[in-house]
Homo-oligomer: A and B are copies of this chain.
Amino acid sequence: MRYLRNVWYQAGWSSELDDGRHLGRTILGTNILMFRDEEGAPRAIVDRCPHRFAPLSAGKVEKGIVTCGYHGLAFDGSGRCVHNPHGRIGAISVGSFPIEDRHQALWIWMGDSQAADPGLIPDLGFIDATPETARITGHLPTGANYQLVVDNIMDLSHADYLHPTTLGGMFTGASTRVDTRGDRIIVEYQASACDPAPAFHSVVPPPLKADVRVEVQWFPAGVMVLAAGANPAGEKRDPGQDSLTLHSITPESDASSHYFYCSTRPFMTDDLALSATIKATLEKAFVAEDKPMLEKQQAQIGVADFWSLKPLLLPIDTGAVQVRRALEKRIEAEKRATVETSGRP
Q: B-contacting residues of A (Cβ < 8 Å)? A: 31, 48, 50-55, 58-59, 67-72, 84-87, 92, 148, 151, 155, 157-158, 160-162, 172-173, 292-293, 296-297, 300-301, 309, 311-312, 314-317
Q: Which 4 pairs from chain A and chain B are nearest by CB?
A: A50-B312, A72-B161, A53-B300, A51-B312
Does the CB pair B300–A70 fall under 8 Å? no
A236 smallest CB distance to B (angstroms)? 30
Does the CB pair A162–B69 fall under 8 Å? yes
A168 smallest CB distance to B (angstroms)? 10
Does the CB pair A53–B314 fall under 8 Å? no
Does the CB pair A58–B296 fall under 8 Å? yes
Q: Which residues of B contact A172 (CB under 8 A)?
A: 72, 85-86
Among B55, B71, B151, B311, the residue within 8 A (CB) of A155 is: B71
Q: Which residues of B contact A85 (CB under 8 A)?
A: 157, 160, 172-173
Q: Which residues of B contact A296 (CB under 8 A)?
A: 54-55, 58
A320 smallest CB distance to B (angstroms)? 9
Q: Which residues of B contact A173 (CB under 8 A)?
A: 85
Given A71-B161, A71-B316, 12 other A-B contacts at CB below 8 A? A51-B317, A52-B311, A53-B309, A54-B293, A54-B296, A54-B297, A59-B161, A70-B293, A71-B157, A72-B157, A86-B316, A92-B312
Does the CB pair B311–A70 fall under 8 Å? no
Does the CB pair B86–A297 fall under 8 Å? no
* Nearest-CB residue, chain B, relative to A316: B86
Does the CB pair B293–A69 fall under 8 Å? yes
Among B48, B69, B161, B311, the residue within 8 A (CB) of A68 is: B161
**Cα-based distance from A160 to B297 in the complex (angstroms):** 46
**Cα-based distance from A161 to B85 in the complex (angstroms):** 11
* Nearest-CB residue, chain B, relative to A168: B72
Does the CB pair A311–B53 fall under 8 Å? yes
A42 smallest CB distance to B (angstroms)? 23
Q: Which residues of B contact A72 (CB under 8 A)?
A: 157, 160-161, 172
Q: Which residues of B contact A160 (CB under 8 A)?
A: 72, 85
**Cα-based distance from A85 to B71 in the complex (angstroms):** 60
Does the CB pair A86–B300 fall under 8 Å? no
Provide a sorted-by-A list of 21 A–B residue pairs whose CB atoms are within 8 angstroms.
Answer: A51-B311, A51-B312, A51-B314, A51-B317, A52-B151, A52-B297, A53-B297, A53-B311, A58-B293, A58-B296, A69-B162, A70-B161, A70-B293, A70-B297, A71-B157, A71-B158, A71-B314, A72-B160, A72-B161, A84-B314, A85-B157
Does the CB pair B55–A300 fall under 8 Å? yes
Q: Which residues of B contact A59 (CB under 8 A)?
A: 161
A187 smallest CB distance to B (angstroms)? 14
**Cα-based distance from A315 to B85 in the complex (angstroms):** 10
Most interface-central of A71, A92, A157, A172 (chain B CB within 10 A): A71
Q: Which residues of B contact A315 (CB under 8 A)?
A: 86-87
Most interface-central of A53, A84, A155, A297 (chain B CB within 10 A): A53
Most interface-central of A67, A161, A162, A300 (chain B CB within 10 A): A161
* Nearest-CB residue, chain B, relative to A72: B161
A90 smallest CB distance to B (angstroms)? 9
Q: Which residues of B contact A71 (CB under 8 A)?
A: 155, 157-158, 161, 314, 316
